[in-house]
């Protein structure tokens, strides 16, 4: 489904180049559940934006469902984004003047879907995230957990095959975070491909496949124990996490993301 090859992205900040991504290779199969972790500034969001066609790589190639995205025009990228990719953001990104239902309808409205069909689908999706009775509420009247569920509903409404979540629980308390993760994991079980950027080890560990980034390089790519989540309480320290990665490095799922990453992280 996703095929990244040698993707590099460099920003300049204050005249100095900052490597946000460096020669990243990554392939993702449909239906995978992947968590992306790593220190702040390591390029997680940049990777996600790249996958979501919000950003263009400086070099390297990105094939989405076999389509070479570098050659696409901005119009086509926008359409592809609207139809195939759902975004969930840390800060929800709901429009305050619109009701929950209207926020959810927004992607369909942009795609030109007719109002009746729009309303039907949006209502169904809102029920799916358990907020059917909040359809007419505006963001100001909802709790953080509810806001993120509305945002999830909005990400789902176009029936995308790829769901990208950038720290979806970052602004939520423990319980609400669990709640939201529960919702998107359910979606993954139903077949959607899921990438979650998180700082929360307990959440990251739940994924079937875990990426760890440092300085724009994927330094770890390991198969986890899956969504079952039974391992949740067992290990909490990053050290334990690293050690477990060492064991599974030889596993069949281990893609190498660090071929040339060795020196590039140096400036940090």
Ligand X SMILES: Nc1ncnc2c1ncn2[C@@H]1O[C@H](COP(=O)(O)OP(=O)(O)OP(=O)(O)O)[C@@H](O)[C@H]1O
Where on the chain is the footprint of another protein (CB under 8 A)? 49, 52, 54-55, 74-75, 78-79, 81-83, 87, 89, 91-95, 97-98, 102, 106-107, 109-112, 114-115, 139, 147, 154, 158, 171
Three-state secondary structure call for residue 155: helix
Nearer to ligand X, 113 or 214 (CB): 214
Radius of gyration of the chain (CA): 19
Q: Count other Cβ atoms within 10 Å, centred on residue 54.
A: 16
- Nearest approach, Cβ of residue 195 and Mg ion (Å): 13
148 binds Mg ion (CB under 5 A): no
- Nearest approach, Cβ of residue 21 and ligand X (Å): 8
Three-state secondary structure call for residue 115: helix
43 binds ligand X (CB under 6 A): yes
Nearer to another protein, 31 or 82 (CB): 82
193 binds Mg ion (CB under 5 A): no
Residues 6+ apart with CB under 8 A from 139: 92, 94, 95, 96, 100, 103, 147, 150
Summarize the chain as % helix, strand, coil (round to 5): 40, 25, 40
198 binds Mg ion (CB under 5 A): no
Residues 191 and 114 sit within 8 Å (Cβ to Cβ) = no
Q: How far apart are CA 15 and CA 2, in angstroms?
A: 33
- Nearest approach, Cβ of residue 226 and another protein (Å): 30
Q: How far apart are CA 90 and CA 127, in angstroms?
A: 22
45 binds Mg ion (CB under 5 A): yes
Neighbouring C-alpha atoms within 13 Å toward the C-beta of 100: 28
Q: Of these, 24, 26, 33, 44, which contacts ligand X (CB under 6 A)?
A: 44
Nearer to another protein, 82 or 229 (CB): 82
- Nearest approach, Cβ of residue 55 and ligand X (Å): 8
- DSSP for residue 216: T
244 binds Mg ion (CB under 5 A): no
- Nearest approach, Cβ of residue 17 and Mg ion (Å): 19
The interface partner of residue 83, options being Mg ion, another protein, ligand X, none and the CB cut-off 5 to 8 Å by kind, is: another protein
The interface partner of residue 42, options being ligand X, another protein, Mg ion, none and the CB cut-off 5 to 8 Å by kind, is: ligand X
Q: How far apart are CA 188 and CA 35, in angstroms?
A: 12
Q: Count other Cβ atoms within 10 Å, centred on residue 90.
A: 17
The interface partner of residue 43, options being another protein, ligand X, Mg ion, none and the CB cut-off 5 to 8 Å by kind, is: ligand X
Nearer to another protein, 54 or 254 (CB): 54
Determine how β-strand 59-64 pairs with β-strand 67-68. antiparallel
Q: Of these, 6, 31, 41, 229, which contacts ligand X (CB under 6 A)?
A: 41
259 φ, ψ to 5°?
Answer: -55, -50
Residues making contact with ligand X (CB under 6 A): 11, 13, 18, 20, 38, 40-46
């Amino acid at each position: 489904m996703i095929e990244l090859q040698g993707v590099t992205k460099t920003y300049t900040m204050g005249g100095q180049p900052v490597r946000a991504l460096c020669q990243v290779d990554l392939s993702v199969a449909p239906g995978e559940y992947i968590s992306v972790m790593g220190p702040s500034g390591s390029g997680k969001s940049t990777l996600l934006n790249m996958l979501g066609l919000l950003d263009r790589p400086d070099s390297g190639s990105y094939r989405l469902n076999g389509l070479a995205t570098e050659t696409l025009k901005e119009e086509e990228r926008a359409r592809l984004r609207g139809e195939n990719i759902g975004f969930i953001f840390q800060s929800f990104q709901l429009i305050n003047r619109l009701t929950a239902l209207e926020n959810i309808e927004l992607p369909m409205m942009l795609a030109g879907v007719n109002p009746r069909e729009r309303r039907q689908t949006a209502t169904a999706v809102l029920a799916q995230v358990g907020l059917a009775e909040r359809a007419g509420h505006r963001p100001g009247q909802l709790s953080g957990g509810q806001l993120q569920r509305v945002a999830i509903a909005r990400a789902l409404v176009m029936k995308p095959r790829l769901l990208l979540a950038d720290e979806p629980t970052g602004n939520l308390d423990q319980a609400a975070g669990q709640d939201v993760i529960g919702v998107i994991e359910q979606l993954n079980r139903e077949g959607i491909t899921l990438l979650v950027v998180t700082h929360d080890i307990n959440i990251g560990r739940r994924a079937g496949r875990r990426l760890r980034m440092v300085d724009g390089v994927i330094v770890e790519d390991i198969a986890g124990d899956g969504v079952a989540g039974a391992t949740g309480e067992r290990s909490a320290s990053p050290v334990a996490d690293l050690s477990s990665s060492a064991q599974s490095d030889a596993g069949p799922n281990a893609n190498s993301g660090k071929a040339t990453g060795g020196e590039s992280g140096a400036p940090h």
